[in-house]
Amino acid sequence: MYPQSFEYISPRTLKDAVKFLKEHEGESKILAGGQSLIPILKMRFASFGYLVDIGGLQDLSYIKREGDSIRIGALTRTGEIEESQEIRMNNILLAEAASQVADSQVRNMGTVGGNCVHGDPGNDLPSVMLALDATYKLTGPDGSREVPASSFYKDSYSTDLGDAEILTEITVPVIEHGSGGAYVKHKRRSGDFSIAAVAAYVTINEMGNCGTARIAVTSIGPINFRSKEAEDFLIGKKLSDQNISKAVDLMVDSAEPAADPYGSVSFKKEILRLVGIEAISKATDRALGV
């Protein structure tokens, strides 16, 4: 299937891009790497009169360490995230997830901003950003505003991004000593969306108990979401196999997957349980330095 016709726009600056979006509000859509947007257009899930290609705005492609945070330009390629020594050394959760996005061709074309911005519940990086408590910088006609990933996703393909706004930067924390993260994904074959995936981030306090837990889920339900039930259960407890298993049971019980060609509801819940245990256990081992 081919997308409906559209006019291609290639602005020279971010200011020009925002101006065009404002002048054609509701009729235009940002195009970056195209790896998330083009399939949506080809399946005619959406259509726009104008595609505004910001791929040439190289000022939006960077990875910068600043204190205990890492700032990532929205046009940074997923493959660059995967290969970045800065990311690998300071946020293995993000590097690990980036390496599992689709295939190498998609990672070399697709951008971190594009993977995060559309609200596709099958995309990997939104769950990682939820687990990391990342912040999104949105730039529009009235300037820039920062939105936590936790409040950005509203529904399937529905986010807090305004029609004339552009996601320009993502800020994630450095994973410090005593903290750990992991992303575990189950898919049918290489390049597929996941049947279920879990991003886990935990910290261990001076008592040896869980100080922080953020557990986010991919491909189960209409949006990527955090399991508050699992998180609340783990905080203040030892991250033992028994407690991790109980937390994952709570996560699975609250999940609402839909049956589709990828599997039945019960099958998806079982896969979610398996990847959940592996992700939290792996994050725990990393927090302990194992």
Candidates 223, 48, 33, 54; CA nearest to 114 is: 33
pLDDT digits (tens, 9 = 90+) for 132-146: 999 999 999 999 999
How is the beta sheet containing 210-218 ordered, strand by strand? 179-186, 196-204, 210-218, 225-226
Q: What is the pLDDT of residue 1?
A: 65
Res 177 pLDDT > 70? yes
pLDDT digits (tens, 9 = 90+) for 48-62: 999 999 999 999 999
Query: Taking the model in full, what pTM does it have?
Result: 0.95
Res 191 pLDDT > 70? no
Residues of the chain with CATH 3.30.390.50: 180-288
Q: What is the CATH number of domain 180-288?
A: 3.30.390.50
Mean pLDDT for 206-219 is 98
Range with top average pLDDT, 98-102, 105-109, 150-154, 286-290: 150-154
3-state SS record for 103-144? CHHHHHHCEHHHHHHCCCCCCCHHHHHHHHCCEEEEEECCEE
State the amino acid at position 5 in one-letter form: S
Which architecture does CATH list for 58-172? Answer: 2-Layer Sandwich (3.30)
Task: With cut-offs at 50, 70 and 90, classify the pLDDT of residue 220.
Answer: very high
How high does pLDDT run on average in the chain?
95
3-state SS record for 191-258? CCCCCEEEEEEEEECCCCCEEEEEEEEECCCCCCEECHHHHHHHCCCCCCHHHHHHHHHHHHHHCCCC
User: In angstroms, rounded to a whole number, what is the distance separating the alpha carbons of residues 22 and 25?
Assistant: 5
Q: How many CB atoms lie within 10 A of CB 232?
A: 12
Tokens of 100: 């599992």
CATH classification number, 7-53, choose in 3.40.50.720, 3.40.50.1100, 3.30.43.10, 3.30.230.10? 3.30.43.10
User: In angstroms, rounded to a whole number, what is the distance separating the alpha carbons of residues 43 and 62?
Assistant: 31
pLDDT digits (tens, 9 = 90+) for 93-118: 999 999 999 888 889 999 999 999 99
Q: What is the pLDDT of residue 271?
A: 98
Q: What is the pLDDT of residue 2?
A: 74
